[in-house]
Structure 1
Amino acid sequence: MDVNLDGLFRLNSSYDYGDDYVYTDDDLESRRAQAVWIPLVYSVVLVVGLLGNGLLLAFLARKKRAWRTSDTFVLHLSVADVLLLVTLPLWAAQASQSCGWCVGLALCKISGVLFKLNFFCGVFLLAAICLDRYLFWVHAKPLFSHKKPRMTHLSCACAWIISLLLTLPDWLFLVLEPHPWKEEWTQCVPSLYPANTRLASRLPQHLFGAAAAVVVGCSCLLPWLLRPPKSLRNQRAAIITLILAGAFSFCWVPYNVALAVDTFGGAKKTSPATKTSLMATAALGCVHACLRPLLYFGVSATFRTWTLAALSCAKVEPKGSAWGLGVGEDAVPERTPEEEEELKQVANGEQQEQSKVSSCDS
């Protein structure tokens, strides 16, 4: 069975194979291998992701009374992952069915949009979390507050709106067309538009991907260099934030690098090796949709205890913040030893003045 799953992950005109393109035995073997490993990988990601995110959403639903700002961001990240997960059976079916994409143009466009939407939402929400922690640890002025949730909801809404706007190229260019050398096989691919439009359609992803990597990386690493957290609580929050950002980067950076190589490589046609790398790295990006609940299970004792209790049909009421991110929590900022000594001197001076006043009154 010969398949081509490259259409979901690329917005360019590389499908214009031309009459001079010759398919080799290696191309056929590669497509047969893709028809096996793509459905297998997506099936595992779908099952693990739906189970993990389902438990995550159930946990959040049970702790309404003890809701925290971190829970709001976790909720939005989980919803973005679920939206991506529900599209995976469609792409797995395209790889395994003889008709290719058999579910219509509307689902083709929606599936392509949700793939990009998951990336952009993850970028913006993680950047907001990291920026809040950086401002708190370094400048003692957090971006979000538990007492003022409006800023949190506004930031999450902006992340969704901007992400939807950045997926417009998928709405406009994704089409259904027959395979160039197998007409009975329909594929969901970008329409053939001028080559100079390729850079314009991909530029938002390249720019925001690079900018988010800088924001997330600097926000996570600079506090350790400028003002390392000294309390165990803040150290734990910094480590958990770094783990979440690192997992996101591990899953999505390879795809963005492969996409940039294809965009700026100068070749008019995408080589088979580049196509394979795009498909493999895009699958790795989809893996992230099931990875975050596993990370929460590993780093959060509260979520782990509740999950094990729920699986054993026991009732445990979740309390407080389960994620350890510390976003929006009203904590006392850490002070350096010099600041602590200065505060002690000020306090001692005030006590001496009060003692003098008391002795004069007596």
Structure 2
Amino acid sequence: MEKILDVQDLKVSFHTYAGEVQAVRGVSFYLNKGETLAIVGESGCGKTVTSKSIMRLLPEPMPAEIKKTTKILFNKNDILKMNEKELRKLRGADISMIFQDPMTSLNPTMTIGKQIAESLIIHRGMNKQEALDEAIKMLKLVNIPNADKRANQYPHEFSGGMRQRAMIAIALACNPKVLIADEPTTALDVTIQAQIMDLIKELQKNLGTAVILVTHDLGVVADVADRIQVMYAGVVIERGTTDEVFYNPKHPYTWALLKSVPRLETGNKDVLYALGGTPPDLIKPPIGCPFAARCEYCMEICKEIMPEATKLSETHEAKCWLQHPLAPKEGVPEGVNEGGSKNEE
């Protein structure tokens, strides 16, 4: 498969009054044409900072700083070396983003149709009427009823699910090669969540767009992603195909995420699993494994040395001392059910 995006050693810090917050610490990954990569982890793990770094949307050079060792290659061109003119051409046309909260991302003073048309005028050179006609087509494409009428309405006249669909229409208006969806289903009810994910999947199939799906909810990615990478405290601690991460997880944090997903057999009075403790302070990150303080399988070496990635297959790896060939295996989950990823069918 052809590699369209290649992120190498991404390090992002925020300079605050309290010190340097090391939000992303050496993240590397790639994205192939037409595939979906899910970046999963709890709030504050660095998912959104990673996705915004790709489009250079962080307030650089202060307070945000992308370290000089980092490379973000789109079609082999380094985005970090692009000037403002090149970035404006890239954003929207080649790489688009669906933001977490459509109500704060949409312009409240412009109609939805004009907001879609704006990018068409800038990137595709259409005149106003052509752009508005195309905007109505995009609203129909994302299943918004009465698109002709809705194009002349403002964001506050749309429901939450319809605002999210409008954001998708804006993001896809110029047929981008990469779509970054940052928590696209947050604050939506379960039925609307399913509709939004089905819509992204259908549009990706029709347009051939590569997707980076950023979410804290593993339940959302199961039917959508080709590959998953799990982030914790600014580091990727496990990556693999969707089947590998769901049915053969190897990091205790991934086990915890999977155990916290409600299942069909869960009763309405059953208590869901909750991971104890809190993430580490990234002003002074731990020298060892960042998950050590919350891990029930923690060993002394976990607190002292950050584990290297252990390759489990061609596509699967985990940064965990439990996977080291010399690590004790007694009491460590091996099966799918013990690891908490899936109960027996």
The structure where helix makes up a greater share of residues is 1
Does 1 or 2 have the higher relative contact order (CA < 8 Å, sep 6+)? Answer: 1
TM-score normalised to structure 2 length: 0.26
TM-score normalised to structure 1 length: 0.25
The structure where strand makes up a greater share of residues is 2
